[in-house]
Amino acid sequence: MAKKKKKNRKNQKKQVNPGVKALDIILSVALVAGVCYGGYHVAANGVKIDQTTTYYTPDEIQESTEAPTEEAGIIYGNEEYPNSAIHTGTLILVNNNNACETGEAGLVSLGLKKLDADNHSFAGVTDNELSVTEDMADALLAMFDGFYNETFDDNILVVSGYRSQEHQQELYDEDLEKTGLDYSERVSLPGYSEHQTGMGVDLELVDGEYDGTGTYAWIDEHCAEYGIILRYPEDKQEITGITFEPWHYRYVGIPHAAFIMEHGMCLEEYIDYVKEFPYDGEHLEITGTDGKLYEVYYFPEDTEYETTMVPVPGGGLPYTVSGNNVDGFIVTVELGDAPAGGAVDTTDAEQPAEEESSEDTADGEAESPEESVE
């Protein structure tokens, strides 16, 4: 069956009336100067945005060094992203329903990073082939430093990081042979494992299993400070589809880790929750554990075209755009230092009705990474 060719947005852009574009530029300058107040002003605390007028592109926005306040709002422009970009970024959701479509780009050897940093705060890695993304590597080294400085415990091993789809297939086939089942209940389907993102790791101890209790409870209490979350909590098994794994951690970045851990969410819940804060509505405002104030909003993929024009802030404000690996983009804007005494967030997250957890292993305890592989 022939595939319908999508419309080409670039061809449409060439048809813009030069006079209209010139008028847009004049209006943009007027907005920055405070002469006009229109559809591009949004207060830093996340008020609704009027999008009834034409967007400006980043090149058409006059740069401003003025920090965003309720009086001086954010000027938004557009940044064009291929729709394939919804499958990339630090907030992509990979689970039994959403395949991982990222490549191996950006991976680094965690062992070599540890060596280069002369880091002695954890025991090490199983081998120098164990790789993660650069963000995850930096976050792990910093987190283990913090843990060691508090506990003087360097007993932690990182036993699994990035896995290729081929490696996941081997693990899957091995589990089928071991259990005699037609479908593995313990190993994620090849292509649907979070390990393929390079942002997930499994921990173990030199002298035993890692269960996140005792001294190691510090990791769960502080991992958000480094942009890391416990990916598969015990009370979220029905949502994640994965048995409780106290050893599996995932990088999502600040401030998302702060919000997720503070509200007892899993990543699936957070991705759904952020959709309640679209660009043209109220934005989610979070104070990260780094003392910075952030604004977060969702923008859907434009399915009518091959690219999506994502609204992003001008004025030199730092921001990141991540796909959610489902249906759109999540934009995170750093607004500057948070007010003194700020909480982790300024929005009450409503938790979904708690579902009954799936059954644990026969002895009532979580299996080790060697027995149960995500």
pLDDT tens, 275-311?
A: 999 999 999 999 999 999 999 999 999 999 999 999 9
Are both 26 and 149 inside the same structural domain? Answer: no
CA atoms within 13 A on the CB side of 177: 6
Q: Determine which of 61-75, 114-128, 163-177 has the lowest per-residue pLDDT on average.
A: 61-75
pLDDT at 41: 32
Q: Determine which of 40-49, 83-92, 174-183, 330-339 has the lowest per-residue pLDDT on average.
A: 40-49
Average pLDDT over residues 25-46: 37
pLDDT at 312: 97
Domain with 283 in it: 20-85+273-337
pLDDT at 364: 35
245 is catalytic: yes
Going by C-alpha positions, the residue among 181, 163, 50 that lies closest to residue 102 is 163
**pLDDT at residue 57 tops 70:** no
Whether 2 maps to a domain, the answer reads no
- pTM value is 0.76
Degrees, nearest 5: CA angle 145-147-152: 95
pLDDT at 225: 98
Are both 182 and 301 inside the same structural domain? Answer: no
Are both 244 and 183 inside the same structural domain? Answer: yes
Confidence of residue 73 (pLDDT cuts 50, 70, 90): confident
Are both 101 and 210 inside the same structural domain? Answer: yes
Mean pLDDT of the chain: 79
Are both 213 and 79 inside the same structural domain? Answer: no
Are both 214 and 110 inside the same structural domain? Answer: yes
Are both 188 and 225 inside the same structural domain? Answer: yes
Beta strand spans in the chain (E): 76-82, 107-109, 124-125, 131-133, 156-160, 200-205, 228-232, 245-251, 284-287, 292-300, 307-313, 319-323, 328-337
Are both 133 and 201 inside the same structural domain? Answer: yes
What CATH number should be reported for the domain holding residue 36?
3.30.200
Are both 235 and 256 inside the same structural domain? Answer: yes
Catalytic residue among 194, 204, 225, 245: 245
Q: Determine which of 43-57, 118-132, 209-223, 309-323 has the lowest per-residue pLDDT on average.
A: 43-57
Structural domain count of the chain: 2
Whether 211 maps to a domain, the answer reads yes
SS3 annotation, 45-63: CCCCCCCCCCCECHHHCCC
Confidence of residue 84 (pLDDT cuts 50, 70, 90): very high
Cα torsion at 232, 238, 244, 249 (round to 10°)? -10
Are both 127 and 205 inside the same structural domain? Answer: yes
Are both 113 and 242 inside the same structural domain? Answer: yes
296's tokens: 């977060």
**pLDDT at residue 130 tops 90:** yes
Q: Please give the C-alpha separations between residue 247 and each of 25, 210, 211, in angstroms, as whole numbers.
A: 53, 6, 6
pLDDT at 342: 52
